[in-house]
Amino acid sequence: MNELAIRGADVPTLDVASIRAEFPILSRQVHGRPLVYLDNAATSQTPRRVIEAFDDYYGRYNANIHRGLHTLADEATAAFEGTRETVRGFLNAAEGREIIFTRGTTEAINLVANAWGRANLGAGDEVLISRLEHHSNIVPWQLLARELGFTIKVIPVDERGVLDLDAYRALLGERTRLVAVNHVSNAFGTVNPVKEMAALAHAHGALILVDGAQATPHQEVDVRDIDADFYAFSGHKVYGPTGVGVLYGKAALLEAMPPWQGGGEMISTVSFEAGTTFAEIPHKFEAGTPAIAEVIALGEALRWTTGVGLAAIGAWEQRLLERATAAVSRIDGLRILGTAPGKAGVLSFVVDGAHAQDIGLLIDQLGVAIRTGHHCAQPLLAQFGVDATCRASFAAYNTLDEIDTFAEALERVIGMVR
């Protein structure tokens, strides 16, 4: 069942005006017009309290964590580890040690590939990914497959951008070691039935890695309910900073995995004579000084997001999506790509006789920020016979008026380039 489709009438509505007031960037002008920011699937904006977390850290308690005995180090460590607990709650993970801080989703997937993959994959094995994947859930597996000789198989999608579950069932077999799929597609907004997919993977003795970069901003995620073995997301798509993300992994799996990067923090003892022993999880996978301020600010972002309420955010984004879909559908020669039922707040489209890049550049002149290009999903776009789309994607702070401004601006620029 598609999680975003499940909405009770009791979902609280958002006070969008007061939400907007918390985001300083939303009051700026672009080319002399009020900014209409509809590039949220690439990076969402950050509320003031997230920005202030940086100021507070660097102004009051900037210190390296874990190894200091002084007050500043203690405070920084407590704030850093406090975020681990916030993330644990955000994902409903069983234990804080199952939360590993990374640079983002990309690094989290590379961690699984290099630590778990190198220890567990070889010739004859199969890894299933889908055609909906972002390049960051394709290329790490291709790089490793080239080295280790395992095979990558691809779950197909239909003309709506929905995964073919019968094909998935048929691809699963005794050689399948891992299924690596996104929870929500960044290019089309498709919400994948990852709980069902996890159960099927497990029935075949395979693990499942879920790329949650586009799910965590729009819906509540429960890694234990999904029964995900690994789950990854990025801070900058959930109202948080860039340069920080999370890998959740089941404790027993993480404990059995070798480290992937060596250095400080991840060791227990180092000796030229006796060799090196490693720290316990999660520190075994956090070599070197992490992005301390970013991790602390991520905690603020997740507390802000859960405070507003993901059910309410998701429901509001659906209203924005409906309004935008209705408005752009009236435009002659415009084709929406990605029409999965219950999809997230992502609207991808192409326009006859107008290249996406031209539309993106011209609409920016009218103050509207959308994304144009291949969205790091070239295999998906290739299936639809295009190399680029325009993509508008929505967040808690977008308004219905902004959708109207976007639709009017779009009609204007299409008129200019055709």
Report the catalytic residues: 376
136 is an interface residue for ligand PLP by CB under 6 A? yes
Structure tokens at 177: 């070691």
CB nearer to ligand PLP: pick between 47 and 212: 212
130 is an interface residue for ligand PLP by CB under 6 A? no
Query: For residue 313, is it left (φ>0), alpha (ψ between -120 and 50) or beta?
Result: alpha
213 is an interface residue for ligand PLP by CB under 6 A? yes
SS3 label, residue 278: strand
Structure tokens at 143: 């790089």
Structure tokens at 363: 């609409």
Q: How many residues bind ligand PLP (CB under 6 A)?
A: 13
Cβ neighbour number for residue 98 with a 10 Å cutoff: 24
CB nearer to ligand PLP: pick between 226 and 413: 226
CB nearer to ligand PLP: pick between 42 and 312: 42
Among candidate residues 203, 155, 205, 195, the one with its CA nearest the CA of residue 175: 205
Answer for which of 77, 83, 86, 106 binds ligand PLP (CB under 6 A) is 106
211 is an interface residue for ligand PLP by CB under 6 A? yes
Whether the Cβ atoms of residue 247 and residue 100 lie closer than 8 Å to each other:
yes
Answer for which of 46, 105, 348, 372 binds ligand PLP (CB under 6 A) is 105
216 is an interface residue for ligand PLP by CB under 6 A? no
Rounded distance between C-alpha atoms, residue 110 and residue 233, angstroms: 13
Q: Please, which of residues 302-331 interact with ligand PLP by CB under 6 A?
A: none
SS3 label, residue 372: strand
86 is an interface residue for ligand PLP by CB under 6 A? no
Q: Quote the DSSP letter at residue 66.
A: S
Phi/psi of residue 240, each to 5°? -115, -170
190 is an interface residue for ligand PLP by CB under 6 A? no
Q: Please, which of residues 239-278 interact with ligand PLP by CB under 6 A?
A: 245
Answer for which of 44, 234, 318, 372 binds ligand PLP (CB under 6 A) is 234
Q: Please, which of residues 20-59 interact with ligand PLP by CB under 6 A?
A: 42
Minimum distance, C-beta of residue 128 to ligand PLP, in the bound complex (Å): 17
Answer for which of 45, 83, 110, 182 binds ligand PLP (CB under 6 A) is 182
186 is an interface residue for ligand PLP by CB under 6 A? yes
134 is an interface residue for ligand PLP by CB under 6 A? yes
Q: Quote the DSSP letter at residue 190.
A: P
**Beta pairing class for 334-337 and 368-369:** unpaired
Minimum distance, C-beta of residue 245 to ligand PLP, in the bound complex (Å): 6
Rounded distance between C-alpha atoms, residue 347 and residue 322, angstroms: 10
CB nearer to ligand PLP: pick between 245 and 367: 245
CB nearer to ligand PLP: pick between 42 and 154: 42
131 is an interface residue for ligand PLP by CB under 6 A? no
Rounded distance between C-alpha atoms, residue 340 and residue 347, angstroms: 11
- Looking at the DSSP bridge assignments, the partners of residue 155 are 130
Among candidate residues 312, 269, 299, 265, the one with its CA nearest the CA of residue 284: 265
Angstrom CA distances, 197 to 91, 159, 206, 228, stand at 18, 20, 11, 10
CB nearer to ligand PLP: pick between 84 and 218: 218
Residues forming contacts to ligand PLP in the complex (CB under 6 A) are 42, 104-106, 134, 136, 182, 186, 211, 213-214, 234, 245
